Amino acid sequence: MVQRTAQIERNTLETQISIKVNLDGTGKALFSTGVPFLDHMLDQIARHGLIDLEIDAKGDLEIDAHHTVEDIGITLGQAFARALGDKKGIARYGHAYVPLDEALSRVVVDFSGRPGLFYQVQFPRATIGSFDVDLFREFFQGFVNHAGVTLHIDNLKGANAHHIAETIFKAMGRALRMAAAHDPRMSGIMPSTKGCL
């Protein structure tokens, strides 16, 4: 089996980001982003997606976390696109429902080649600790634009903002794992009637 890994570096005047990803990993994660709550959420993607993930990011956090969070999403999307290669033999679609106590979220992903984010999440408060929950949308928008995926994220229930966020990121990891998985019946076959994704 071809190793599905990628390393991407993205440097701007606002951020310097390096990401390594192994889609066929064991969930090992190493983060240095300067945004602790984002690290906690990225760890959910790695562990539940069984994706090895290393992210080193330096950004203009003295302003706020917006550029750093968005640019990590962009760079992670680029890494996924590169690691997936031509997408032959993958399941293509993935979905997951994940609960955490009172919270329940659903994430559905399609490695379609067509970026689209459909995000229905209402948080009960504007921040989790010092993390601005509006930045989650920016992260996911950056990811879908550069991974070329269609992504539906729906929080179905929840009263605790931390629980809601955690269910979303755990479901994201599981949906990505399902969609990126090799389907032995699709070996060498493009999962599209168009012949390309």
d(CA 63, CA 13): 13
pLDDT at 58 over 90: yes
What is the model's pTM? 0.95
CATH code, 5-186: 3.30.230.40
For residues 114-142, one letter each, b for 16 or more C-beta atoms within 10 angstroms of the residue's C-beta and e for the rest, the string is: ebebeeebebeeeebeebebebbbbbbbb
Domain residue ranges of the chain, discontinuous segments joined by +: 5-186
Task: Look at residue 14 in the predicted model and tell me its pLDDT.
Answer: 96
The vertex-110 CA angle with 155 and 5, nearest 5°, equals 110
- For residue 1, pLDDT beyond 70: no
User: What Cα–Cα distance (Å) separates residue 53 from each residue in 24, 25, 43, 84, 128?
Assistant: 11, 9, 8, 15, 23
Q: Is the model's pLDDT at 90 over the cut of 70?
A: yes
pLDDT digits (tens, 9 = 90+) for 186-195: 888 777 777 7
> CA 139 to CA 17: how far, in whole Å?
14
Which strands form 5-11's sheet, in the order they lie side by side? Answer: 5-11, 15-22, 52-59, 29-32
